[in-house]
Amino acid sequence: MSNTTNVLILAAGLGTRMKSDQAKVLHKLGGQPLIAHVVRSASVLNPEKIIVVIGHQAEKVEAAARASLPPEMAERLVFVMQTEQRGTGHAVMCAREVLKNARGSLIVSYGDAPLVKADTLRKLIAEHESGQHAATLITIKMEIPPAYGRIIRDSENQFVKIVEDKDCTPEQKQIKEVNPGFYCFDIQTLLPALDRLTTHNAQGEYYLTDVPEILRADGKSVGTVLHDDYMELQGFNNRAEIALGWKKLRGEILQKLMADGVTIVDPDSTYIDVDVEIGRDTTIHPQVIIEGRSHIGSNCEIHSWSHLTNVEIGDNCTVNNSCVLEDSKLTANNTVGPFARLRMHAVLDDSAVVGNFVELKKSKLGRKSKSMHLTYLGDATIGDRVNIGAATVTCNYDGKNKHQTIIEDDVKIGSDTMLVAPVKVGRGAVSGAGSVIIEDVPEDSLVAGVPAKVKKKLK
Ligand code: UD1
Ligand code: CA
């Protein structure tokens, strides 16, 4: 890009058509708030500043925008308050102070249009620069025009103005070319034009969409770029539109994964968020949900009805049917489930196995260790080659505090053992079925009973 570019995103509105207490741009699409998508595609243009006009739930919107970018890019964010929402033109006026010394072009878009691709914005900038326009806008042609501003052209097909849907005459309503709301302005031409906006329109607002007409009246050039993907540029105004947008984005995410070598058995029933990475030759079976910042390695199998959130899964792992894994890690060569639950930084070391109806919370299971059936392991550190018998429970909570259980390498915990924490089971020890362990177990000893007592030394 030859000229300096800045980006301005309008995100101060509540979004009445959402019927929500939450600002529209905070509603999620593919695991990320709308504003995060918008800010991210802007950041790909490498702009000098990304200015966001905020108003409703300003703090939350600001936080969501900041969280969506890596720190060095987040530094370029500038937030401007619009206390009263008096229209999109007024929102731009609120950024006047930030813009007054800026030169070059300004991309303006709306915070409710999350699917735009950086390439589309690049095309807009390219036309703006090559045509040396004062303003350039993207337009879309729709057989049945949506309730968008209509593009009015003269007999020579030259751009004349935008008329908002609510201000259209019945004839203008028939116009198929509409304004999806992506503009490129020369900053120093835009600022004085803002002073000439009025509120003489159906909504009594300052419309940003009146600026191109003002520039034209001054004999300045206004360029247009016709785009063909309506959904990509759609501004979401209600929940049904957001759901359709997610369908489009979801399809794109799955296509990309498949192109990169991931098998998605049934794309129609697979839900994978934007920030999920998956390695080659991994298979995702039908009805799987993978959310948040998740990373899955190569040659894994993720079976049906499993729901994974913020997981790190190494290579050659199998997640069987109906597992719920959150904020947890499978290192490599692990199998879990069916019906396993891992949460709050549960970690399986290489080749550890967790079977059905086993829950791990803030616990680590060492290399080649197994917990196959009906077990709760909470606040536990378990060594290598340990076998945890069916129906074992770490009794980690005394009603007030949580306590740690330590199980060292090569231990065998018998079925139905209760480990009353804090407690430690020494290396090579064995507990008999039904033991209730209330004090530390020495290494290489067999304990049994209620409460468990040492019955014999094993070495
Ligand atoms: C706007 C355009 C319309 C276009 C459509 C495309 C105007 C006047 N109209 O209409 O031509 O076809 O988008 O989606 O621009 N906002 C503020 N402050 C305000 C008002 C709005 O920050 O005072 C923000 C909103 O939070 C929202 C965005 O601007 O993110 C667009 O506002 P919205 O009310 O959705 O505009 P539309 O009626 O959809
Ligand atoms: Ca809108």
Q: How do the domains of the chain map onto residue ranges?
A: 5-233, 262-457
Residues 382, 366 contacting (CB under 8 angstroms)? yes
Q: For ligand 1, atom 26, which residue shows the shortest CA distance?
A: 13
Average pLDDT over residues 351-375: 98
Residues facing residue 402 across a β-bridge: 397
pLDDT digits (tens, 9 = 90+) for 12-24: 998 999 999 999 9
pLDDT score of 2 more than 80: no
Full DSSP string of 251-296: HHHHHHHHHTT-EES-GGG-EE-TT-EE-TT-EE-SS-EEESS-EE
Burial (Cβ within 10 Å: 0-12, 13-18, ≥19) of residue 308: buried
- Alpha carbon of 88 to ligand 1 centroid (Å): 6
- What does the block give as tokens for 19? 């019927």
- Alpha carbon of 183 to ligand 2 centroid (Å): 14
What pairing do the DSSP bridges indicate for beta strands 453-457 and 445-448?
A: antiparallel
Banded pLDDT at 4 (limits 50, 70, 90):
confident
Q: Give the ligand whose atoms come closest to the C-alpha of residue 25.
A: 1
Provide the mean pLDDT of the chain: 97
- Alpha carbon of 288 to ligand 1 centroid (Å): 36
The label of the residue with tokens 């719920």 reads 324
- Alpha carbon of 411 to ligand 2 centroid (Å): 62
Whole-model pTM: value is 0.92
* C-beta atoms surrounding 443 within 10 Å: 16
Average pLDDT over residues 125-139: 98
Mutate to test the pocket of ligand 1, among 26, 88, 164, 190 (most ligand atoms within 8 A of CB): 88
Report the alpha-carbon distance of residue 57 to residue 62 in Å, rounded.
9
Instruction: Identify which has the larger pLDDT, 169 or 1.
Output: 169
Average pLDDT over residues 237-259: 97
- Give the number of residues written for the chain: 459
* Residues designated catalytic: 373
Q: For ligand 1, atom 12, which residue shows the shortest CA distance?
A: 148
pLDDT score of 389 more than 50: yes
Classify domain 262-457 by CATH architecture.
Answer: 3 Solenoid (2.160)
What pLDDT does residue 1 have?
45
Banded pLDDT at 459 (limits 50, 70, 90):
confident
Q: Give the ligand whose atoms come closest to the C-alpha of residue 16.
A: 1
> Could you give the percent of the chain with pLDDT greater than 90?
98
What pLDDT does residue 23 have?
96
CA-based R_g, the chain, Å: 30
- List, chain by chain if needed, residues with CB within 6 Å of any ligand 1 atom: 10-13, 53, 82, 85-88, 90-91, 110-112, 148-149, 162, 164, 178-181, 207-209, 235, 237
Please state the atom number of ligand 1 nearest to the C-alpha of residue 237.
Answer: 35
Banded pLDDT at 3 (limits 50, 70, 90):
low
pLDDT digits (tens, 9 = 90+) for 187-229: 999 999 999 999 999 999 999 999 999 999 999 999 999 999 9
pLDDT digits (tens, 9 = 90+) for 264-301: 999 999 999 999 999 999 999 999 999 999 999 999 99
Average pLDDT over residues 32-48: 96
Residues facing residue 141 across a β-bridge: 177
Report the alpha-carbon distance of residue 256 to residue 270 in Å, rounded.
13
Task: With CA atoms as reference, report the closest residue to 288 among 315, 313, 252, 264.
Answer: 264
Q: Which fold has domain 5-233?
A: Spore Coat Polysaccharide Biosynthesis Protein SpsA; Chain A (3.90.550)
pLDDT digits (tens, 9 = 90+) for 86-114: 999 999 999 999 999 999 999 999 999 99
